[in-house]
Amino acid sequence: MLNGYLRNQCYKETIELFELMGASDWGFDSYSCNFVLKACMELEDYERGTEIIKRAVDHRVDGDKFLGSSMINFFMKFGDFNSARRVFNQMISRDVVCWNSMIGGYVKGCYYVAAFDLFLEMILCGVRPSAITMVSLVQACGGMRDLELGKRVHGLVLVFGLGTDVLVHTALIDMYSKLGEHERARSVFDIMPAKTLVSWNVIISGYVQNCLVYEAFDLFQKLVLTGGGFDSGTIISLLQSCAQVADLESGKVLHGYIFRKGLDINVILCTALVDLYSKCGALKEATFMFDRMKNRNVITWTAMLVGLAQNGHAEDAIRLFGKMQEEGVTANSTTLVSLVHCCAHLGSLKKGRSVHARLLRYGYAFDVVNRTALIDMYAKCGNINYAERVFEDVSFFKDVISWNSMITGYGMHGQGHKALDLYCRMLEEGLKPNKTTFVSLLSACSHSGLVDQGRSLFLSMESDHNIRANEKHYACYVDLLSRAGHIKEAEVLIKQMPFQSSREVFEALLNGCRMHKNIDIGIKAADYLLSLDATNPGIYIMLSNIYAEARRWDAVDHIRGLMRGRGLKKTPGYSLIEVGKQLHAFFAGEDSHPNSVEIDRILENLKSELEALGYVPDTSCVLRDVDEAMKIKSLWRHSERLANAFGLLHTPAGSLIRISKNLRVCGDCHTVTKYISKVVKKEIIVRDANRFHHFVDGKCSCNDYW
């Protein structure tokens, strides 16, 4: 009867019947204890289970090998390894099942060395290992990432005559796949005398893990041709492969298979579909799948959240996290680090600090990946001092990515000398720089005007560190030279590149031509860029601006006419400011904000105060052919000025104002913000498309170099 209840998943009834047996004259034996102990495991009732074990010991029915294995399994399930070992050591007679319970438990708990030590003890005791023993040891090798040990265990499999066992073969395929040895995994699969669907799924999953997408689909076709069926596990692996290469069409075909074959629509399969559509940029389909799911776990929520974040919908991702909290789903490390990236994208320091607090609360803040994300977030939210505090924490193990992130942060804030000093520290501590290190360093030099230092770094890459410059390095070096006005030198460098020039290189040159009003080279750079992509509105805008700054209004009209003819539109300028727990967006020329009247009043007052201090509008920043009065009016409706006024309206005295702008700050807005910081006695931090500007008492951290 107990066994019947257990088989039908009536776990509470199993326990109730056992209690009746104990209270009656029937008593209980090792078999009844075994059944009820399994019921306690299913209900995850540790206290009741330990009580059953105590009663079994008191009634001296615990000597049975069958019950002994169940007791070991029970303690192992709850991570009580000491109690499990105590039960094992007290057993008078132990068969291979008992040894397997202990070895398997150690492996599941990641106590791999203890598992192998016990295996050696087992051999010395003359107990011959079974297929289950070898499966556990193979899994341990995969967990330890030890290929050589895995090969030795494979040899023992053959020595013990288990080379034809399906379970062992499948475990070996999984191990070799996890260790990147996909060819060995395939050879084991090919020699299997009998292949199960689990075996097919493991080898297909192994190919996906090793980014062998097309090979995975080839295997799937062979599986279908053999007449063997497939299940949701097969499709999940293939959906993951489609997500890896953003193959939306193949993913949709697989989605169709799910319905045609009537596969089990479980939470894992639905999550894989959400992840696929998100990574392919098909957010409508991803949201549709997500909203229809009745059961969603933390992985599902995270897949949807990451999809929104990676497709430029950071605010929607943060809102989704709010819903996730409302439903009582506890975030994991991946969820929180994705939110950190969202906060970095939005420049939302308050939300970023809140997520940092959650990482600390859940114990995830000490992971090197998460800490590196925090450094990046604080730097992008304008608080380079907090980024330094995270980086300099003595408990933080820093890899090269962490150092690169801090160097990049210094570069964004125009602190090129600090970036170079940190690089020297990095070398002193014995870390080897990589390609990204030099991208970060060259970019830092570019934003600080450190031309000579940038030249030295570019040359030292290959001579001192054996790193050959790639397109990103050349783009940064061209940007460094172009920003500093060395347009001809940048042009010569491009011609000497050992590979065909990339779009990024010519964009850097074109930007330098705009800054230094070099029309001739600017036109050539723009022509080349348009030959690569005639639908990029940014190129037309930059060329139009070059002509406008030279007052070539006929050429400006021609470029804008080309844009209209091709249906291209300029990206509207906007600025974001966070007040309280809300982000406010302001677009250039906007007057629809609820506080527009107060904003206009503040701007009018500021204008009078700034002019009294000597401010004169620089109307050359207005790249339109209109009269002077219209130019001045246009300047005072730029988005960062609206955001600044809103910040003054809603932030207390002495507090910072933080603004994020999607485009480059114009020269006149830069001058005005310097004056405002002096008048209102506030630090104003502006993050534009290129870098950060810290305005304090009439001065900017960029030293007017941007």
Neighbours of 15 (CB within 10 A): 22
pLDDT at 61 over 60: no
pLDDT the model gives residue 669: 93
Q: Which tokens belong to 45? A: 């009732």
- Give pLDDT, residue 580: 80
Give 461's Cβ-side CA count (13 Å radius): 22
- Write the pLDDT tens digit of every residue in 468-511: 999 999 999 999 999 999 999 999 999 999 988 888 999 999 98
Is pLDDT larger for residue 342 or for residue 619?
Answer: 342
pLDDT at 432: 94
Contacts from 19-24 at CB under 8 Å and sequence distance 24+?
22/55
Tens digit of each residue's pLDDT (9 = 90 or more) over 288-305: 999 999 889 999 999 999
Per-residue confidence (pLDDT) for residue 194, from 0 to 100:
87
What's the pLDDT tens digit per position in 604-623?
Answer: 999 999 999 999 988 876 76
**Residue bearing the bigger pLDDT, 277 or 94:** 277
Q: Has residue 36 got a pLDDT over 60?
A: yes
Rounded to an integer, what distance in angstroms lies between the CA atom of residue 423 and that of residue 410? 11
C-alpha span between 586 and 340 (Å, rounded)? 24
Span 540-596, pLDDT tens digits: 888 888 888 778 888 888 888 989 898 988 888 899 998 887 889 999 888 888 999
Alpha helices in 484-518 (DSSP H): 487-495, 503-515
Helix (H, G, I), strand (E, B) or coil at 458: helix
Q: Which of 58-62, 136-140, 151-155, 427-431 has the lowest mean pLDDT?
A: 58-62
- Tokens, residue 128: 């011959």
Q: Which residues contact 556 (CB under 8 A, 6 or more apart)?
A: 544, 547, 548, 623, 625
Buried b (16+ CB within 10 A) or exposed e, 240-266: bbbbbeebbebbbebbeebeeeebeee
Structure-model confidence comparison of residues 6 and 306, the more confident one? 306
Average pLDDT, the chain: 89
CA–CA distances in Å: residue 267 to residues 236, 283, 524: 11, 19, 55
**Arithmetic mean of pLDDT, 190-206:** 94
Q: pLDDT tens for residues 443-460?
A: 999 999 999 999 999 999
Three-state secondary structure string covering 637-657? CCHHHHHHHHHHHHCCCCCCE
Distances 598 to 77, 251, 457, 602 between C-alpha atoms, Å: 64, 52, 50, 6
Which candidate, 355, 337, 341, 289, places its Cα nearest to that of 311? 341
Q: Determine the pLDDT at residue 187.
A: 96
- pLDDT at residue 25 tops 60: no
The set of long-range contacts for 532-541, using a CB threshold of 8 Å and a minimum separation of 24, is 532/503, 533/503, 534/566, 535/566, 535/568, 537/563, 537/568, 537/569, 537/570, 537/571, 538/507, 538/571, 539/507, 539/510, 540/568, 541/570, 541/571
pLDDT score of 461: 95
Percentages of the chain per state (helix, strand, coil), in multiples of 5: 70, 5, 30
Residue 240 in tokens: 């993951």
CA 255 – CA 414 distance, rounded (Å): 49
pLDDT tens-digit map of 69-114: 888 888 888 888 898 898 888 887 888 988 999 999 999 999 999 9
| Global pTM value | 0.76
Structural domains in the chain, sorted by start:
470-570 (1.25.40), 574-700 (no CATH)
Residue 263, φ and ψ in degrees, nearest 5: -70, 160
* Whole-number pLDDT of residue 188: 96
- What does the pLDDT read at residue 467? 96
The residue with greater pLDDT, 24 or 111, is: 111
Whether the pLDDT of residue 425 is over 60: the answer is yes
Size of the chain, expressed as the number of residues it contains:
706
What pLDDT does residue 508 have?
A: 93
The two tokens of residue 313 are: 């919908």
Question: Which pLDDT score, from 0 to 100, does residue 676 have?
Answer: 95
